Structure 1
């Protein structure tokens, strides 16, 4: 966790410094809460290449489902052979069934590092990474809007006497519901819009359907024990994932999916609004070239005397009476040509 402590604390302090310069109270909970949101944005931006890899892997897995079904029919009686052929199919296609889990798996250590950094700063003012003891105390005891402690959670909320802090419970419950809803919406969006019909059956589809309900419930049950600061991180991360996935599915959907059909309809409507169809666009963009003869006509070979004669005379030579026509000198006969010249 030590390297993660330094990374997280460096990003947190950087955002906290920025919000302090902008006029927020450095000891207030709002500046630290916004710093956690800024930390989330930095981490998710760094994970964009992995997200692209996840999208490609998920798309390849969907497109390979018909071939997987064929392997199941062929090797359904031999599980070991089926597993070997399936992994070979994935390898030949250049995809990895575990690549779709990479963004979540890489975020979990960061999630728990932030959880420990916040909880230990709140309980014992213990600094980690670049946090000093003073900054750790500010971070752990910060209160949002002057009332809601950033380290408070739904169950172990701070109390005023014997009465639980209702504000902490309400805010924590709202964040837990938001985290659960965004997780469910993200998974549902992927299955409903970016999966072909043939990929909605089979073991991979069954696994996705199970995760559709298991993950939100697991996060919801565990979220009631998370501090408000950690819930801010996770909810912001889910909102980023949902928006990023919506953009990818809308603009680059997998072929044969409802999202692909919707994109084609939008393209047709856009072309109709501009007053032309797809064929008109092609015709206007690439006009048909002029027809030219495929071969060039070569001029006829002429004798030296014909070349000396003007073009008009060659076009309409004078007619001569029969018997008086003078024979034309053959090409290369210099004697006759010199006589004529004289």
Structure 2
């Protein structure tokens, strides 16, 4: 079955919604214009309930299907992220960002549009049983809006039994789908190392305790965690991404700063990295005669699809685009996603939808491909109808 005909009928409207959202990119939890636009559309569609102000600017819209008032009526959750990124836009499109320095460089404007398209169709047809909870989430790119929504009780409050999400993927054929059972994205942690030495004249290093050399030693030693403390067939990334120190060529500074990211799937591997990083920082500090502190921040957990729900979602995707345009067993990657918190709370699946040959995610020339919005909306709609068929 191809794109749902009724959704194809209002594809032009979806493009208009998406491009409006593209012009008002907002960050983290502070999405007043975006949330107001989404809420206005949902009221126009006639959703049965609209709960706003969750995680500050997030919301959950409820659409009742047949038999929704039965005590055991199921509720399926569909999630879209709404926030943008602090990146100056370089697309040159006529609907360019009107918020200087911010842009929708990850396609969350498109994700929101796809879920709005599904909402419009489901509110019109109601060809399903139970209820659907449409979750519009802020702060995926930072803070973890999904975590906040889960902590504020959305799963329990709306009796959500399973939950699904889509993310566009540049480089994947336009309108195709990709997912995998089990882990699909990694846990992400951040580390900060702050080094305090004694600065002095660059010509007299013997009178200093050089934080620059200590930073170099720590950065190199951290890389041995992957190469010498870890089994090579398990997934692990430890990347030093920033070293800041010094001001001029003839002054040894007092301080240095190191920052980086850790990506894991196994909690035991994550624990090992934290332990070894503490040992390395402490040991290197003694070696170089400086003081060093490690601040290790545990971030989003691994995104893990429920195997049965992923298989079900693959079947729905095949109905929409055909068997040859769905990859059911893709290789997991080291990116991260806060939808992991929702998948920790309820079984479900996270899928990619092909964006085609475009600029990559988080690139200043990226723009969501409007042609795939009806495909994603059709997937969401059929997912509900297949998971909770009408009597």
TM range, smaller chain: under 0.3
Higher relative contact order (CA 8 A, sep 6+): 2
Give the greater-gyration-radius structure (CA).
1
Could you state the TM-score of these two structures normalised by the residue count of structure 2?
Answer: 0.21
Q: So what's the TM-score if we normalise by structure 1? A: 0.23
Per residue, is there more strand in 1 or in 2? 2
Pick the structure with more helix per residue.
Answer: 1
